Amino acid sequence: MIGAGGMARAWIRNFLPAFSDRLDVVGLVDIDQDVLDDQADFLALPAEARFTDYKRAFTRTDADFCIIVTPPWVHRGPVEAACRAGMHILMEKPIADSWKDVRAIYRAVQRAKVKCTVTQNYRYNPNMYTFRQVLRSGRLGQFNYLMGRFLADYRRFASWGAFRHEIPHSLLIEGGVHHLDMLRNLADSHCVQISGYEWNRPWSSFKGESNASYVMKMANGVVAHYEGTCSGAGQQNSWHREYYRAECEKGEVVVDSDGIVRITTRHNTTGAMTTTDVPAEKTDFVGHSFVIDAHLNWLSGGPRPETALQDNIYSNATMFAAIEASTKGKTVDVEALVRQAAG
């Protein structure tokens, strides 16, 4: 496992223990020796299984796959090392923080023919899984268009982790990767074109762009709109409380900050409105655990996960196309970026 602090700590202490009958961490890497030792002690790893250099870890560890939970700009090196070792990969999103590195990672995985899953855990939160199932059931008829909104009050510096207030494209890189993927997920398609803008305002606590407004055209004809801000001074739709609405032939389905999925229909003759709360779908695993289970099943000969690299490349291409659309003030061809990545 590459990474032991920050989000990696949650993996080690909260997510992986549920799979103790299916996996063992046999090597742990972190550049901070104190963090490394703290988490390695929790895992009861011997000194020879603790590394501050990921390259050394790959040559000294006999493992079936690696888990990469580091900041996005520290993904490429470990992925390429895993590919050289012929080792399968489970990694946090986004694939990388630059399109150059995304392309390099995608090509390395394709050449090495290793299995790589990206952790788009938000797809598998109960309310969003339920929302998706409503759409896929067909009970509301044909799909028309989709809205997604993320509003968070990060006006105070470091309220979203200091580094996010310092990096470029902060909202899209650290947040939009979830939301653009979710819109793809709900539309059951991939984005072919995107237009819109990211920007910052004088009162923002961010150096990079912390607001976004985009329109996406999906391959199946669904149109989606994404609105996001890190300076939300009013109603909040922050993490796990985002707003999504799908307009369909026979009604709409909505989820808001209370996390309840609701269907509203209007009688086409009387105009009478009916709103119904939808019970949450039950799954064996949720969030990160859903993706971990799917990855382990794949390694054991099961189906390829929905968020395998071959699919998730479209979410990352959409994110970088959004950056380009804003920079150049034009509509960007997302499929062309994916073809470019494939080389």
- pLDDT digit string (tens) for 68-82? 999 999 999 999 999
Count CB-CB contacts under 10 A for residue 254. 17
> Is residue 271, in this structure, part of any structural domain at all?
yes
Helix, strand, or coil (residue 304): coil
Using the structure block, give the residue that is written with the tokens 């398609």.
189
Domain count, the chain: 2
pLDDT at 270: 85
> Is residue 1, in this structure, part of any structural domain at all?
no
pTM: 0.94
Full domain range(s) for residue 151: 123-284+314-336
pLDDT at 268: 81
| Claim to verify: residue 135 and residue 247 sit in the same structural domain | yes
| Claim to verify: residue 104 and residue 146 sit in the same structural domain | no
Q: What residue ranges of the chain have pLDDT lower than 50? A: none
CATH of residue 250:
3.30.360.10
| Claim to verify: residue 100 and residue 139 sit in the same structural domain | no
> Is residue 247, in this structure, part of any structural domain at all?
yes
| Claim to verify: residue 160 and residue 195 sit in the same structural domain | yes
| Claim to verify: residue 157 and residue 209 sit in the same structural domain | yes
CATH of residue 47:
3.40.50.720
pLDDT at 261: 98
> Is residue 255, in this structure, part of any structural domain at all?
yes
| Claim to verify: residue 190 and residue 322 sit in the same structural domain | yes
